[in-house]
Amino acid sequence: MGSRTTWSSAGLMGSSFTALSCFLGFQFMVSLLLSSLQLQVVEAQGAWEVIVNNAGIASMHTAVTRFNTAVLLDRTDIGPSQLPLPDGVCRNDPNDEASSSTYDCTAHSAVLDLGTNTIRPLFIQTDTWCSSGQFNADGTLVQTGGDNDGFSKIRTLDPCAGDGDCNWVETDVPLQNGRWYATNAQLPDGTQAVVGGRGISTVEYVPANGRGTTYIPLISNANDAQNDNLYPYVHLLPNNQLFIFANQDSILYDWQSNTVANNLPTLPGGPRNYPSAGSSVLLPLSGFNGWTDTEVLICGGATYGAFLNPGAALPATQSCGRISPLDANPAWALENMPLQRNMGDMLLLPDRNVLIVNGAANGAQGWGNAQNPVLTPVLYNPNGAAGTRFQTLGATDIPRVYHSTANVLPDGSVLVAGSNTHQFYTLTGYLATELRIERFSPPYLGNGAGPVIANAPAELEYGAAWTATINNGNAEFIDLSLLSAPYSTHSFAQGQRLLQLETAVPADVGGGSYTVDTTAPPSSVIAPSGYYMLFAVSDGIPSQAQWVHVG
């Protein structure tokens, strides 16, 4: 995890200096030169590395915890997984769709220790298929809904270190409306808004906060044969309203009064949500402008009809839309990605660029609907001039389509897992169920040693001034940012948020160290209370993050 350089699986397979040293004379020198050239290409375009050859499950939902672990989740009624539960532990659930799952001694959730790349099975009883989730202020992962016996369930996991014994708890309090294909958003009052779902056009709050459930026409499935408003994109904005996007339309929603505050323009280019899924991010918020510059980016999707006619392999969408939803007259600005893509995952990186990874060039989400996997990630620079913002990166050789995930890790790399476009585990054939887990190192991890956070508080109180000590930084500017740990599923990282702190010019304190004065975010509207990764970035290279609690 500490290495700044990794080898591309598409490059010299299995090559290393040790292997090359077995050659003699001219062959040795030529091989060394070739590997050096390959290394330079990898550094310029990023690098892929398989860190787990068989996780036992294909992670449909993934979340990174403050204990340097990742929680992996799949369906329970998919038949036996490849990961056994401890001896004597089995699920007995006659409601499961697969007869082989009704009595099942294999795991459908797990914890990945990111330090050792080892897997520990977790027990989960009810079906989490196409469910939603989010972390609470205390770091508890809350998981809501699913299929069959999981439809109205609320589950919690209090994460622990990789060698701990934490496990899922199925709560006795149900959702007010059962949810399948919904989205969760953490709110400033400490509750979570649970928005939408198949056949459910309401928003409710977990835990219940007295506001009940409210019907939202935007997320109704009534007029869309494809139900392209599932897994709506939901972002908490600096004015304490929710941006909610479904299909091609969006609203500003006042969650405190349960009313629609504004209807925003239609985004051209076809449907953008499940099953025609593109992806979305709230672009980084910055303390340098008082947290007021607010923009949403949505990229990709599918041609309408791709889900209803899977054999047609209709092309994915190539366009992105960008909007400032709080402007007096908001409008979408369009630009094209280098590649058409649906089912892509969009991630905010520590350097405030956006990574787009995974997906397919044809088809839509659903069993067997994906065609032509897109193996090449794309980097988007929000601060670049229009027409110059995209950069293609190095390709993987592992397709990641339906039911794949991506999450930023504390070292600035990206965990990529899952992919299962079959109803049950299918380990051979075209787009087989994918049990391998990869780590992608963006180009900045090949640019030399990054800064080091030598000292920073573990707790940040809203609006409080504090000072960080940074080693190996740039004397002119050291960027400090807070990155949330989202719940990644179905091409949308629920709760993803990056906050650039306003910082003073670094003060040189000698020995290659600098102090940087800054201020914590002003309120839970800007930074909902919880655990964030604190990154220092200097000359475009991020530090290893330190986990801090904000609130």
* Residues 349 and 478 both lie in one domain: no
In contact, 167 and 122? CB cutoff 8 Å: yes
* Residues 395 and 515 both lie in one domain: no
> What per-residue confidence (pLDDT) applies to 16?
33
Coil, helix or strand at residue 489: strand
Angle at 221 between CA 219 and CA 225, to 5 degrees: 140
Instruction: Return the CATH number at 487.
Output: 2.60.40.10
Residue 458, sorted as left (phi over 0), alpha (psi -120 to 50) or beta, turns out to be alpha
> What per-residue confidence (pLDDT) applies to 61?
98
> What per-residue confidence (pLDDT) applies to 228?
94
* Residues 325 and 278 both lie in one domain: yes
> What per-residue confidence (pLDDT) applies to 361?
98
Give the other-Cβ count within 10 Å of 103's Cβ: 12
Instruction: Return the CATH number at 335.
Output: 2.130.10.80
* Residues 25 and 112 both lie in one domain: no
* Residues 40 and 133 both lie in one domain: no
pTM of the full predicted structure? 0.91
Give the residue numbers spanning the domain of 178: 49-446
* Residues 291 and 414 both lie in one domain: yes
* Whole-angstrom distance, CA of residue 407 vs CA of residue 346: 9
Query: What is the full per-residue pLDDT of the chain (551 aa) written as tens digits?
Result: 333 333 233 332 333 323 333 332 333 233 323 333 333 344 679 999 999 999 999 999 999 999 999 999 999 988 899 999 998 899 988 877 666 667 899 999 999 999 999 999 999 999 999 999 999 999 999 999 999 999 999 999 999 987 889 999 999 999 999 999 999 999 999 999 999 999 999 999 999 888 888 999 999 866 688 999 999 999 999 999 999 999 999 999 999 999 999 999 999 999 999 999 999 999 999 999 999 999 999 999 999 999 999 989 999 999 999 999 999 999 999 999 999 999 999 999 999 999 999 999 999 999 999 999 999 999 999 999 999 999 999 999 999 999 999 999 999 999 999 999 999 999 999 999 999 999 999 999 998 899 999 999 999 999 999 999 999 988 889 999 999 999 999 999 999 999 999 999 999 999 999 999 999 999 999 999 999 999 999 999 999 999 999 99
The secondary structure element, H or E, covering residue 40 is helix 25-45
* Residues 38 and 86 both lie in one domain: no
b/e per residue, 40-57, with b = 16+ CB within 10 A? Answer: eebbebbbbbebbeebbb
* Residues 10 and 90 both lie in one domain: no
Q: How, if at all, do strands 546-550 and 459-460 pair?
A: parallel
Which of 405, 420, 446 finishes a domain?
Answer: 446
> What per-residue confidence (pLDDT) applies to 97?
66
* Residues 457 and 402 both lie in one domain: no
- Token pair for residue 13? 């397979």
One-letter-per-residue 3-state SS of 171-232:
CCCCCCCCCCCCEEEECCCCCEEEECCCCCCEEEEECCCCCCCEECHHHCCCCCCCCCCECC
* Whole-angstrom distance, CA of residue 438 vs CA of residue 440: 6
- Token pair for residue 99? 């007869």
Which of 421, 446, 471 finishes a domain?
Answer: 446
Burial of 423 (0-12, 13-18, 19+ CB in 10 A): middle
One-character DSSP codes across 430-477: TTPPP--EEEEE-GGGGSS---EEEE--SEE-TT-EEEEEEES--SS-
Which of 429, 446, 463 finishes a domain?
Answer: 446
- Number of folded domains in the chain? 3
* Residues 2 and 102 both lie in one domain: no
Strand partners of residue 216: none
* Residues 228 and 290 both lie in one domain: yes
In contact, 280 and 267? CB cutoff 8 Å: no
In contact, 551 and 521? CB cutoff 8 Å: no
* Residues 117 and 182 both lie in one domain: yes
